[in-house]
């Protein structure tokens, strides 16, 4: 029987034939594709001809395409629809892929070819993009330890293999904790909960095969429960379980895993000659140094903490007026903040939700992309990896641009959070290929599905990443789309969130799910006036997480991550009623892979730019100014990593912004 992972896909737009792929296909396909990739690398390294851009750099770009195709399917499923077999395969694949990467970067003949091209780069007649690719390839080899020899080289290989294993374990432990916990609700426990929370709790119970409603650790369910449940003891139980993910003891406990990851990262950086892992990691980012990151975070921390402490005093008064003595606790904050929002802004989430259906918000995201960039979206009738998934063909002026896949609903087999990925990136060489892009979210299922305003913001955020991938127009896949500095990658996503706040967008798309009527102007005005409500809380929980991440990687390796986390929070004066957005044992951004390690600050670094970038639209002809939209696509969205991020932003805006734009945007300016 043909293994479809290794066959040519005769499918619409070259989509993976998910219905014809079985879990049993992955291991043999992986081994075959890995062997093929090794052969391709060997052929480049052993080429007797003098190295050229085409036979070395461009050949490396083309190598491993078969392996990438297998893994793009596998990891899409492993993240969004996991099962025990796929988790077993993840554990098996991780060290083998780490070893493969070490083989490439440790291949001395191959490194010598890259090194010679780097030395001769000014004489090769390269285009700017080709020159960029030579630089990035050489830098990747150097930073991976290609120049190491002997015991140091062997130790680096062992470190990378172990880190791959630990990252996989961290992710799977977290998924197990999230999937394994629920809190059953009796009918009397539903008191005070809006219908949409009750419906979501009943749907979660059904998904788990239970008869009654339950609260799970899915953010889209537990946050509204914490906002609306008047039962303080249930809020406490739910909150403590939520923040204990990854630290529940037993085989799924992530504390020792995180500690070992930090030790190995520090050793890796030392082998490469860096003072700390943060110094190593930030070298290639816009920030460049840990000091620059810390300066930004602390510039925001103090005004955010001051606002949060003012808000805490007000919420404490409200709680005590309810007859609850003692101090405000973390499981109280969202409940009394929601009451305060209703009192001060006359704005109830239950009143908003009927106007924020999933269908309406998808239409809004698509509609803005059409007005800004001329994109059209046509629903496709194709089989994907889960019945919840949907696909659209993206075109412009009748020409195919991309395929966009949306996987929006929470389920026990999906890891938490929201993300965007490319099953296939844009490229022109070695062959022309259009991107296949996936947005994955964890919204509560309903009939119809209704979103909170934060959910709608998340949908726009991830679609901003998707636009970065879909509008990419470069030659090589490795520098296309979101292949940019980590502290620049969030600019398109966070910038796109601003269009959700444009009144004419909400007036057109925020229509009542039953009547079809537009959101009343009074409600719309209340929503926009409350846009910065509770920003002290939101900024503090985020910045605290970013500061802990930075401290973990810039200095002595902590013996105990929880003790070190507590020490850091005490040093910055963390308000007692607010917790980190991501405590260390479930800080997947930082510990599931190297992706955001030392880089969780990047959302805020990008926010400095996104506030300034959207202001450029407002200063011009408004949110849909044609020339600004063209500039955004021309200088940022289409360019991927073909130039340094700062150069791209300067081409778009003409200057770099200061932190003031961010503080104004969050309503924290003095």
Catalytic residues: 462
| DSSP-based helix, strand, coil % in the chain, nearest 5 | 60, 10, 30
SS3 assignment, position 518? strand
Cα separation, 348 vs 352, in Å, equals 7
Sign of the alpha-carbon dihedral angle for 147, 149, 154, 155? negative
Cα separation, 598 vs 494, in Å, equals 20
Cα 510 to Cα 49, 144, 250, 409, 440: the distances in Å are 63, 49, 46, 20, 22
151 and 135 in contact (C-beta within 8 Å)?
A: no
Helices (H), 46-83: 59-62, 65-80
What is the DSSP track for 519-541?
PPHHHHHHHHHTTTTTHHHHHHH
What is the DSSP track for 188-206?
GGGTT--HHHHHHHHHHHH
Q: Which residues contact 164 (CB under 8 A, 6 or more apart)?
A: 94, 95, 97, 98
**CA 170 centroid distance within chain:** 17
Q: Which of 276, 254, 256 is nearest to 265 (CA)?
A: 276
Cα separation, 293 vs 301, in Å, equals 12
**Cis preceding-peptide flag for 129 (omega within 30 of 0):** no
Instruction: Give the single-character DSSP code of 15.
Output: -
Cα separation, 175 vs 198, in Å, equals 24
- The first and second tokens of residue 59, run together, are 């050949």
SS3 assignment, position 595? coil
Phi and psi dihedrals of 247, rounded to 5? -140, 35
Q: Return the HEC string of 292-336.
A: HHHHHHHHHHHHHHHHHHHHHHHHHHHHHHCCCCCCCCHHHHHHH
Helix (H) or strand (E) holding 669: none
SS3 assignment, position 80? helix
- The first and second tokens of residue 114, run together, are 């890259």
Instruction: Give the single-character DSSP code of 431.
Output: S
Q: Phi/psi zone of residue 540: left (φ > 0), alpha (ψ -120 to 50 degrees), beta? A: alpha
SS3 assignment, position 402? strand
Q: Which residues contact 466 (CB under 8 A, 6 or more apart)?
A: 404, 420, 437, 439
Q: What angle do CA 50, 51, 56 make, to 5 degrees?
A: 150
Cα separation, 358 vs 227, in Å, equals 21
What is the DSSP track for 529-582?
HTTTTTHHHHHHHHHHHHHHHHHHHSSSPPSSHHHHHHHHHHHHT--TT---SS
């Amino acid at each position: 029987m043909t293994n479809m992972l290794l066959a040519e896909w005769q499918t619409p737009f070259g989509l993976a034939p998910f219905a014809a792929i079985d879990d049993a296909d992955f291991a043999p396909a992986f081994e075959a594709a890995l062997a093929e990739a090794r052969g391709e690398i060997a052929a480049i390294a052993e080429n007797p001809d003098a190295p050229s851009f085409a036979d070395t750099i461009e050949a490396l770009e083309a190598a491993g395409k078969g392996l990438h195709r297998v893994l793009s399917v596998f990891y899409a499923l492993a993240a969004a629809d996991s099962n025990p077999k796929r988790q077993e395969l993840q554990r098996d694949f991780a060290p083998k892929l780490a070893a493969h990467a070490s083989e490439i970067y440790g291949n001395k003949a191959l490194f010598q070819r890259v090194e010679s091209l780097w030395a001769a780069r000014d004489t090769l007649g390269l285009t700017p993009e080709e020159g960029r690719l030579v630089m990035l390839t050489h830098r990747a080899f150097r930073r991976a330890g290609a120049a190491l020899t002997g015991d140091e080289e062997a130790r680096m290989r062992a470190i990378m293999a172990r880190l791959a294993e630990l990252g996989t374990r961290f992710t799977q432990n977290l998924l197990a904790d999230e999937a394994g916990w629920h809190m059953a609700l009796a009918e009397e426990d539903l008191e005070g909960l809006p219908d949409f929370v009750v419906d979501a709790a009943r749907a979660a119970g059904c998904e788990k095969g239970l008869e009654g409603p339950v609260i799970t650790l899915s953010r889209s369910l537990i946050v509204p429960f914490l906002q609306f449940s008047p039962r303080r003891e249930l809020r406490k139980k739910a909150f403590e379980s939520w923040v204990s993910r990854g630290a529940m003891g037993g085989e799924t406990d992530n504390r020792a895993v995180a500690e070992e990851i930090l030790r190995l990262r520090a050793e890796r950086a030392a082998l490469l000659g860096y003072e700390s892992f943060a110094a190593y990691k930030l070298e290639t980012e816009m920030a460049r140094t840990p000091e620059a990151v810390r300066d930004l975070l602390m510039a925001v921390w103090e005004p955010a903490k001051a606002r949060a402490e003012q808000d805490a005093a007000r919420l404490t008064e409200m709680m005590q007026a309810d007859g609850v003595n003692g101090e405000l606790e973390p499981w109280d904050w969202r409940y009394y903040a929601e009451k305060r929002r209703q009192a001060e802004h006359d704005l109830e989430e239950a009143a908003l939700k009927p106007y924020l259906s999933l269908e309406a918000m998808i239409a809004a995201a698509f509609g803005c992309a059409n007005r800004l960039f001329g994109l059209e979206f046509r629903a496709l009738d194709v089989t994907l990896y889960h019945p919840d998934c949907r696909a659209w063909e993206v075109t412009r002026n009748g020409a195919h641009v991309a395929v966009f896949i949306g996987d929006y609903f929470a389920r026990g087999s999906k890891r938490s959070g929201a993300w965007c990925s490319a099953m296939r990136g844009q490229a022109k060489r070695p062959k022309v290929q259009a991107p296949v892009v996936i947005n994955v979210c964890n919204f509560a299922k309903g009939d119809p599905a209704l979103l909170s305003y934060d959910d709608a913001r998340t949908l726009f955020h991830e679609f901003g990443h998707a636009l970065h991938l879909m509008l990419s127009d470069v030659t090589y896949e490795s520098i296309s789309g979101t292949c940019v500095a980590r502290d620049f990658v969030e600019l398109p996503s966070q910038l796109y969130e601003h269009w959700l706040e444009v009144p004419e967008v909400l007036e057109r798309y925020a229509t009542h799910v039953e009547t079809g009527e537009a959101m009343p102007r009074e409600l719309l005005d209340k929503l926009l006036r409350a846009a910065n409500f509770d920003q002290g809380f939101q900024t503090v929980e985020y910045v605290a997480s970013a500061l802990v991440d930075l401290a973990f990687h810039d200095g002595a390796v902590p013996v105990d991550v929880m003790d070190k986390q507590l020490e850091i929070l005490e040093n910055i004066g963390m308000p007692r009623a607010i917790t980190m957005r991501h405590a260390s044992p479930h800080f997947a951004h930082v510990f599931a892979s190297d992706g955001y390690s030392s880089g969780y600050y990047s959302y805020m670094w990008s926010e400095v730019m996104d506030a300034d970038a959207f202001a450029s639209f407002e200063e011009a002809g408004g949110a849909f100014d044609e020339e600004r939209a063209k500039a955004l696509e021309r200088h940022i969205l289409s360019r991927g990593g073909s130039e340094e991020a700062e150069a791209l932003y300067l081409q778009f805006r003409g200057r770099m912004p200061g932190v003031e734009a961010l503080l104004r945007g969050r309503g924290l300016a003095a």
